[in-house]
Chain A
Amino acid sequence: MRTTKAKNGIKTSWQRKAFMIFNLSFLSLISLICILPLVHVLALSFSSSFAASSGKVSIWPVDATLESYKYVLQNTAFWHAFVVTLKRLLFAVPLTLFIVFITAYPLAKNSQKFKGRELYTYFLLIPMLFGGGLIPEYMTYMKYGLINNIWVLVLPGLIPIFSIILLMNFMRDLPAEMEEAASIDGAGPLTSLFRVILPLATPAIATIALFSIVAHWNSWFDGILYMNHPKNYPLQSFLQKTLTAFDTRTISSKDLGMMRLISDQTTRAAQIFVATLPVLLVYPFLQKHFTKGLVMGSVKG
């Protein structure tokens, strides 16, 4: 504790105490503000729709019931979208990890060890800064026959440049001697990549896997854009349509809209919570790795 060491007289330490009290309450308050909206929605999802519509629910369920969850879990469209998202994750995450891994490896070498590295760097960076835009992309993917195809949700995002940079920096920090020793023993670059580097890089790869899972889980716009049929929507696209499509109704035909809104309220809340649950479940692992990854990727530069 700094206060015990600082001998600046009673006045300073009194002010210091006041500051710490203020500080702790302020930080707690802000944390509350960050979590409260989510707790409120959770409480709503477990409340009766009457309690919800009369505005009685704050952070604790009123007239606790599982009705809305029953409704959501019986909703085949919801499950259908859920399955599309799972399929998407199953295709995208391993493929992304593989490509990021094999791409980061040569880029982690310096330009002397890998001739042409500079060129590849530019080739990878340009799409990050410059793109064709919405319409040209749509038309290109349409020509590839990817519209309404699950692969359109997987393939365009397969080269996440930030992840490549992260893994590249990680590989650079690995002791070069290990790979040299392997090559003396007769290992080619591929052998040392998969048998020496891969085991060492698992923490970084886990970070990237989490990045990838969250990105694909949360992605909604490509689903709306590239899927003509709501049947093919991933979960977030499906929710986008059901959760946010009410505003115009409330305004145009107010009474009717409000009635629908109110009866939907707890169901919406349950849907929000079910869709958030997987992120909440991986969050503890996520946070640990992300913090490391972020610090690794940004502060050290």
Chain B
Amino acid sequence: MKQKQGHIPHKKLNRYVLKTQLTYHGLMLPACIFLILFSYVPMFGIIMAFQDYTPALGITGSSFVGFENFVRLFTLDNIQQIMFNTLYISIMKIILGLLVPIIFALLLNEVRNRLFVRSVQTIVYLPYFLSWVILAGVFIEILNPTNGLVNNVLNIFGIDSIFFLGDKNWFPNVMIITDTWKSFGFGTIVYLAALTSIDPSLYEAAKVDGANYYQQMRHITLPGIINIVVLMTVLSIGSILDAGFDQIYNLYNPVVYSTGDILDTFVYRLGIKDMLFSISTAVSLIKSIVSFVLIVISYRLAYRLTEYKIF
């Protein structure tokens, strides 16, 4: 730009710069309007969490009650169980969601047959694109206690049928496993990309020095992907209160509420079904704040550890 300034008269350049700036702001305008209307305006509704909200009176007419809704919330007798369920399901999903793709990518990376690698990748990635509604239909079918595929196989091995989705001990684990099933292909692609970007000459050098496969793995492969592993771990911490509404809502039923109910499904039942608008909004608010703090911390951490920057 600097070299070319000489060719353009100064005034003209200023006008050009101004016009450009205005155009940029103009281009941002539609997105900003939509965000204000559909994201920022609803944020004011949070006031409901501090009110004894009555639909007839609206937000402007309902009376303020301070933190009463929060107190009521924490004295609900099943809130501890719900918190436990949320954290258990979500933490297990995070752990498996890290381990399985890494191991799978490491194993896949050892295969030299391109066609095989690509086919496997294509297949394991597919479930990621299907909605939980569709997959709920699939799982309800194959986990069916009377004639589902899984129980048929178990019966062959002499194991009694298990009502996976109607047994409160099985339910959370089924959620964890099926979620891993759905999403590990996605993670595999990220790690595989990291693995293939490792300089092959490092392996050549190691082999010349007589390193075996285990040593190559330990000293080249793992250090080569550790950054992306740290990044994915740190970033997943921010979603620790999201145990997966789509999945659980579509698969659960009253029999497994005690172990399967998570914050999001609880908010939905409380808010929409029981019309307890204020308490439901209070739960949302707590969840938003905790997530916000965790995400900010984890992004800082990610930046500190791996220099990752989102914007």
Contact = CB atoms under 8 A, between A and B. Distances in A.
Residue in A5, A120, A180, A247 whose Cβ sees the most chain B Cβ within 10 Å: A247
A237 B250 CA distance: 11
Contacts of A131: 39, 42-43, 284, 288
B57 interface: no
Most buried by B among A127, A144, A165, A269: A127
A27 B285 CA distance: 43
Contacts of B207: 2, 5-6
Contacts of B295: 129
A188 interface: yes
Nearest to A220: B133
B253 A251 contact: yes
Given A26-B107, A132-B44, A225-B272, A127 B231 contact: no
A84 to B, nearest CB: 15
B212 A37 contact: no
B189 interface: yes
B258 interface: no
Interface stretch (B73-81, B87-95, B303-311): B303-311
Nearest to A127: B39
Interface string B160-191: 00000110000000000000010001100110
Interface residues of A, number: 112
Contacts of A243: 133-134, 136-137, 140
Contacts of B212: 8, 12
Contacts of A132: 39, 42-46, 281, 284
A219 to B, nearest CB: 8
A24 B119 CA distance: 12
Given A134-B268, A268-B137, A247 B165 contact: yes
Interface in A153-203: 155-156, 158-159, 164-165, 168, 180, 183-184, 188-190, 193
A105 interface: yes
A291 B142 CA distance: 30
Contacts of B111: 20, 23-24, 27
A103 B20 CA distance: 14
A74 interface: no
A214 interface: yes
A159 B280 contact: no
B311 A247 contact: no
Contacts of A16: 213
Contacts of B307: 301
Nearest to B238: A129
A244 B136 contact: yes
Given A35-B126, A37-B149, A30 B34 contact: no
A38 B138 contact: yes
B291 A129 contact: yes
Contacts of A232: none
A268 B141 contact: yes
Contacts of B34: 99, 155, 158-159
Interface string B279-311: 011011101100110011000000000111111
Interface residues of B, number: 112
Interface string B129-171: 1111110111111101011110010000000000001100000
B292 A130 contact: yes
Given A133-B46, A295-B193, A220 B288 contact: no
Given A37-B149, A188-B23, A135 B271 contact: yes
B134 A140 contact: no
B129 A283 contact: yes
B67 interface: no
B219 interface: no
Contacts of A120: 28, 32
B45 A276 contact: no
A33 interface: yes
A58 B59 CA distance: 56
B243 interface: no
19 contacts: A30-B104, A36-B149, A40-B141, A129-B291, A130-B292, A131-B288, A132-B46, A133-B280, A134-B267, A134-B272, A138-B272, A180-B1, A184-B4, A221-B245, A240-B133, A247-B140, A247-B253, A295-B193, A299-B197
Going nearest first, the 4 A-B pairs with the smallest beta carbon separation are A136-B45, A133-B284, A55-B147, A132-B42
Given A190-B23, A218-B134, 16 more contacts: A23-B110, A31-B119, A41-B142, A44-B141, A102-B31, A105-B24, A114-B21, A127-B39, A131-B39, A133-B45, A133-B267, A135-B280, A156-B39, A218-B130, A220-B133, A247-B253
Interface of A: 1-2, 5-6, 8, 12, 16, 19-20, 23-24, 26-28, 30-31, 33-38, 40-41, 44, 52-55, 58, 99, 102-103, 105-107, 109, 114-116, 120-121, 123-125, 127, 129-141, 144, 155-156, 158-159, 164-165, 168, 180, 183-184, 188-190, 193, 214, 217-221, 225, 236-237, 239-240, 243-244, 246-248, 250-251, 258, 261, 265, 268-269, 271-272, 275-276, 279, 283, 286-287, 290-291, 294-295, 298-299, 301
